[in-house]
Amino acid sequence: MTQQGQALKSGNILGAIAALTVLLFGGWSGAVIGWLLGTAAGLMACQGKKVATPKLGIRLGSKAGIALGVWVLVASLIQGVVLLPATGQSSLGLISALILGGIGWVVAILAGWLTGALQGLGPNRQRATAALLALTLIAFPLVDRLAETDWTATVIQILIFALLALGLNIVVGYAGLLDLGYAAFFAIGAYTTGFLSSPQINLEWNFWLVIWIAAGVAALAGVVLGAPTLRLRGDYLAIVTLGFGEIVPVVFRNLTDIRLYEPISQIIASLLGRPEWVICLLGCDRPFNLTGGEAGINPIGRPALPFIGTFQAGQYLPWYYLILCLVVFSAWIISRLRDSRLGRAWTAIREDELAASAMGINLVQTKLLAFAMGATFSGFAGAFYGAYISAIFPSVFDFSVSVIILCMVILGGLGNIIGVLLGCVIIMAADRLYLPQLAQVLKALLNNTVLPNISSPVLRDFLATSVDPLQMRLFLFGLTLVVMMIVRPEGLVPDSQRQAELYESEDESLAEARSQ
């Protein structure tokens, strides 16, 4: 494909997403999504090709931006003039819709232009792109607030899962150990935070200390789980980790009635000088409730910083920047791990365990380290989650969480940090942002336009109750995965090694077919 063609294609693919966004959200969302996806389009347009000069980059980037902008403009017009009245709101008017869409268009072109220009910078390209992305991420919540799109809360959720997906990628993507119970480590991180900074056992330690302890405890749990699974591979390993993932929430659900034999607790308590929580932990006169059972632990202490004070529930900015720092920090650490002696050892184990051990790799140590490192990042995620929601329940950490995280890793591209992050953004944004909004818009559309015109009461009832994308959530999710596995099994941004693995047999059969 020519470079121009690629630019156009990127603009159109992202344009379709942008158009959907504008149709669903309306208002200033066109400008915000034009800005975000315009940057992405600029990157995509110049990806994989050598962009020799900023000039060529500008041409490609702005071309992608223009294509993207057209989608935004058309969608703005449709949304403002057709969709709004159809859903029972007042029409925006042609002029206002045109202005809104036009602004989105211009923003998209500018974003594509700027990104493209940076891609042509030669040796400084990577640094410039990183700076641009950093600026975009830092500016996002401010722009979001200005444009009143209210996406920051969802983006925080996305980033929590990004942290989890990055951690799981170490275990599954790098070391090739299929872990189906990854949510257990998330739970362990969150509950550790719950124990150490809530009134549950009267420990209210500082969040900035607790988050490290939570990561450490999760890492330890990774080793504890990893140790018995060391001799297992493939399906067997998956089943054991699945079991662990099921057990951990059950344990937290049931640790509500701890009571030790009376004399023993008396002796231990007296030895320890009878601090209150020790006595109660050992069940002095009443059973001790450690985890709160189904009701969970509530409230959990929030982090505080000088000047900002304690982070508040409705104020997203400090939370957003905190989780953003955590994700960037983790991605940085993981990229270092990957290009190191340790990362090579992980890949070697994934490729051929026996040969790896014969080359001097200590299998026990290296696998346990993969489990521990993977769990560490979910420990961070758990600690943040506990403090952010300020309450944790065992039901949050069930099997579906493990599966969703695994899907993010596979959808984006096993073993590739960028791919994993992308997979996470796509799944979470679709699930938490687009689907609820789509449900809302569809409902309004049905109530105002379609239903009044249907005479048959049976059909009307059926439509009113059954057209709900939220109910089809899992179906859509499964459908996406099936389609992905057929169209692009290596994931959206695959790791070069993984891609090679998947197409290995295909190449051979192709070659065979040709030789015949």
Which residues contribute to the site for other proteins (CB under 8 A)?
A: 333, 336-337, 340-342, 344-345, 347-348, 351-352, 354-363, 369, 497-498, 500-501, 504
**How many degrees, rounded to 5, is the angle at CA 376 between CA 317 and CA 327?**
30
C-beta of 280 vs 361, nearer to other proteins: 361
C-beta of 329 vs 462, nearer to other proteins: 329
Q: Which of 170, 200, 188, 503 is nearest to 369 (CA)?
A: 170
**Residue 254 region by backbone torsions, left for phi larger than 0, else alpha for psi between -120 and 50, else beta:** alpha
Helix, strand, or coil (residue 355): helix
Shortest distance (Å) from residue 507 CB to other proteins = 10
Q: Which of 238, 173, 167 is nearest to 497 (CA)?
A: 173
C-beta of 246 vs 501, nearer to other proteins: 501
**What is the spatial distance between Cα 34 and Cα 99, in angstroms, rounded to a whole number?**
14
C-beta of 342 vs 407, nearer to other proteins: 342
Residues 6+ apart with CB under 8 A from 243: 181
Shortest distance (Å) from residue 409 CB to other proteins = 18
Shortest distance (Å) from residue 355 CB to other proteins = 4
Shortest distance (Å) from residue 333 CB to other proteins = 6
**What is the spatial distance between Cα 494 and Cα 116, in angstroms, rounded to a whole number?**
23
Shortest distance (Å) from residue 372 CB to other proteins = 9
C-beta of 220 vs 442, nearer to other proteins: 220
Question: Which residue in this structure is represented by tokens 């071309």?
Answer: 63
C-beta of 1 vs 354, nearer to other proteins: 354
Main-chain phi, psi angles of 185, to 5 degrees = -70, -35
> Pairing relation of β-strands 309-310 and 304-305?
antiparallel
Shortest distance (Å) from residue 368 CB to other proteins = 11
Shortest distance (Å) from residue 182 CB to other proteins = 21
Shortest distance (Å) from residue 233 CB to other proteins = 16
C-beta of 359 vs 459, nearer to other proteins: 359
C-beta of 129 vs 499, nearer to other proteins: 499
C-beta of 63 vs 338, nearer to other proteins: 338
Question: Which residue in this structure is represented by tokens 């509500």?
Answer: 256
Shortest distance (Å) from residue 367 CB to other proteins = 12
**What is the spatial distance between Cα 450 and Cα 460, in angstroms, rounded to a whole number?**
9
DSSP bridge pairs for 203: 198
C-beta of 169 vs 197, nearer to other proteins: 169
Supply 169's token pair.
Answer: 């990628």
C-beta of 235 vs 339, nearer to other proteins: 339
- Output b/e per residue, 82-105; b: 16+ Cβ within 10 A: ebbeebeeeebeeeebbebbbbbb
Shortest distance (Å) from residue 136 CB to other proteins = 27
Secondary structure letter of residue 348 according to DSSP: H
Cα dist. 444→80, 435, 451, 468 in Å?
Answer: 15, 14, 10, 11
**What is the spatial distance between Cα 174 and Cα 168, in angstroms, rounded to a whole number?**
9
Do you find a cis peptide bond into 299, omega within 30 degrees of 0?
A: yes
Shortest distance (Å) from residue 179 CB to other proteins = 20
**What is the spatial distance between Cα 239 and Cα 123, in angstroms, rounded to a whole number?**
47
Position 257: which residue type?
Answer: D
